[in-house]
Amino acid sequence: MNKLVKSFGAITSLAIAAIAGHFVGDRALNEILPTVGAAGGVVTGPNVEAPDRYIYYPGTEILAKDEIRVTACGTGLPAARRSQAATCFLIEAGNGDKFLFDIGTGSMANLASLMIPYEYLDKVFLSHLHTDHMGDILGLWAGGWTAGRPNALRVWGPSGATPEMGTKHAMEHFLQFVNWDKVTREYKITPIPGQVETTEFDYKVPDQIVFQENGITIRSYPAIHTGDGPVSYMFEYAGMKVFFSGDTVPNKWFIEYGKGVDLAIHESFQSPQQLVDFYNQPPQLAWRACCEFHTSPEAFGKIMSTLKPRHAVAFHFFNEEATRYDIYEGIRATYDGPLSLATDMMVWNITKDKISERMAVSTDDAWSVPGTAQQPPPEKGRPNPMSNDINNGRWIPAFKSQDEMLDRHMKKYNLQELDWRPAMYKELKEN
């Protein structure tokens, strides 16, 4: 542990933020969070390792076979904020499989800080097509490609009222939007990681199995938000269930199928007053945003006191001193069970015996981490997206100046001469 502490320069401020995440109001921690067991422990001397205290260090904990870990990589709002990205939850199963539920704008930086090889982050389940739930698919798609992901991205998402409102349409047009990026990376790197395999399913069918592999089942349920299409997802593994609402008002499907789930992650929006005070929304829009197409804290509490999950997680609000007390009181007006007010990098470990809530402590300076898979080399015969007119404008003296350094690099890694260097120098001679 000492080595770890040294390697994280920001340990003090992060640790304080972590403890702030355990909001308890005027009630004892163990009264509100009876199942939290990760925290605390006795320090038995002045020169010993401290036991874990609310902290999860990514990459240092192997899950038990019958364990699930959920990490909040985004819990905020469509408006950008450095401390909270938009919606993204990573669910990891004890068998090693990993799943992203939404990948909202800004969430990739949090996800990257977990330093998981990108080959394992290839499955994304979209609850709906608002950008605060899918905006950073850009970063995962391209960033993972440059960082060594050898496989295509797999994306699951709902249909819409018309084909143009569905996930398939969105991902096809996503690939058109990024066409220049895709074509140039296909040529320079390798083409397969640029592919997106989309599975679109009917948003109207409740309790529909949309994924079943390796002992993991994922089901979808209609959600009620701002138009037809949004869904909630149930993640099932080792006899445990995590229910993720996506964006929805209180709805009958979440109530019908969510009874007694292990972890219930449901949106709980800012109050109308907060939207007026902090988000500059007109009062009329504020009440609709809170309570007509999202779920208010009071309604969130009512849902949870009805479902009685082992642990409830509220997200989709800016969680700070100015807002969290009102949200907490709103929820507590109707629910007194185990609760987390989510913020980014909060982590839950779930087993049959225990659900713990901790904060991840991760570096701001993360690099990608290699896995065992290798990207294939560039594909031969692909047309070069650069014309000779442009390519021949390279300023050769600067290229010549790097020759010695490149020779050393190529010798060190036993590389074959690429065709661009001789071709470039041939140009030089001719000029």
Q: Which stretch binds Zn ion (CB under 5 A): 155-163, 240-248, 258-266, 373-381?
A: 240-248
Please report how close the Cβ of residue 316 comes to Zn ion at its closest, in angstroms. 6
Number of CB atoms found within 10 A of residue 283's CB:
11
Q: Which stretch binds Zn ion (CB under 5 A): 50-58, 112-120, 199-207, 247-255?
A: 247-255
Report yes or no: 236 and 219 within 8 Å, Cβ to Cβ: yes
Q: Which stretch binds Zn ion (CB under 5 A): 21-29, 246-254, 339-347, 423-431?
A: 246-254
Cβ distance to Zn ion smaller for residue 22 or 128: 128
**Binding residue count for Zn ion, defined by CB under 5 A:** 3
Cβ distance to Zn ion smaller for residue 44 or 280: 280
Among 247, 262, 298, 344, binds Zn ion (CB under 5 A): 247
Helix axes 283-291, 272-279, angle to 10 degrees: 130
Of residues 349 through 408, those in contact with Zn ion by CB under 5 A are: none
Tokens of 369: 């981490």
Cβ distance to Zn ion smaller for residue 130 or 324: 130
Distance CA 417, CA 163 (A): 49
Cβ distance to Zn ion smaller for residue 57 or 279: 279
x/- binding map, residues 124-153, to Zn ion, per CB under 5 A? ------x-x---------------------
Report yes or no: 239 and 271 within 8 Å, Cβ to Cβ: no
Residue 216 identity: I
Cβ distance to Zn ion smaller for residue 130 or 149: 130
Residue 394 identity: R
Residue 310 binds Zn ion, judged by CB under 5 A: no
H or E stretch including 251? none
Cβ distance to Zn ion smaller for residue 74 or 194: 74
Cβ distance to Zn ion smaller for residue 225 or 358: 225
Q: Which stretch binds Zn ion (CB under 5 A): 138-146, 168-176, 244-252, 277-285?
A: 244-252
Report yes or no: 98 and 123 within 8 Å, Cβ to Cβ: yes
Number of CB atoms found within 10 A of residue 255's CB:
13
Report yes or no: 313 and 342 within 8 Å, Cβ to Cβ: yes
Cβ distance to Zn ion smaller for residue 118 or 318: 318
Please report how close the Cβ of residue 220 comes to Zn ion at its closest, in angstroms. 16
Cβ distance to Zn ion smaller for residue 130 or 310: 130
Please report how close the Cβ of residue 206 comes to Zn ion at its closest, in angstroms. 19
Q: Which stretch binds Zn ion (CB under 5 A): 6-14, 148-156, 174-182, 242-250?
A: 242-250
What single-letter DSSP state applies at residue 50? P
H or E stretch including 373? none
Please report how close the Cβ of residue 301 comes to Zn ion at its closest, in angstroms. 20
Please report how close the Cβ of residue 133 comes to Zn ion at its closest, in angstroms. 6
Please report how close the Cβ of residue 225 comes to Zn ion at its closest, in angstroms. 5
Q: Give how far Cα 368 sits from Cα of 146, 194, 207, Å.
A: 10, 18, 36
Of residues 1 through 60, those in contact with Zn ion by CB under 5 A are: none
Q: Give how far Cα 144 sits from Cα of 149, 203, 364, Å.
A: 5, 29, 18
Please report how close the Cβ of residue 256 comes to Zn ion at its closest, in angstroms. 22
Helices (H) and strands (E) counted in the chain, each on its own, are 17, 16
Q: How far, in whole angstroms, is CA 85 from its chain's centroid?
A: 9
x/- binding map, residues 87-126, to Zn ion, per CB under 5 A? ----------------------------------------
Cβ distance to Zn ion smaller for residue 257 or 293: 293
H or E stretch including 354? none
Only one residue has tokens 């542990």, namely 1
DSSP 94-153: TTS-EEEE---TTHHHHHHHT---GGG--EEE-S---HHHHTTHHHHHHHHHHTT--SPE
Please report how close the Cβ of residue 298 comes to Zn ion at its closest, in angstroms. 19
Please report how close the Cβ of residue 120 comes to Zn ion at its closest, in angstroms. 26
Closest CA to 249 of 283, 203, 304, 299: 299
Please report how close the Cβ of residue 230 comes to Zn ion at its closest, in angstroms. 7
Q: Which stretch binds Zn ion (CB under 5 A): 19-27, 153-161, 241-249, 417-425?
A: 241-249
Please report how close the Cβ of residue 329 comes to Zn ion at its closest, in angstroms. 23
Tokens of 32: 């509100």
Cβ distance to Zn ion smaller for residue 247 or 298: 247
Q: Give how far Cα 226 sits from Cα of 77, 191, 429, Å.
A: 15, 36, 64
Backbone phi and psi for residue 28, each to the nearest 5 degrees, phi listed first: -65, 145
Q: Which residues bind Zn ion (CB under 5 A)?
A: 130, 132, 247
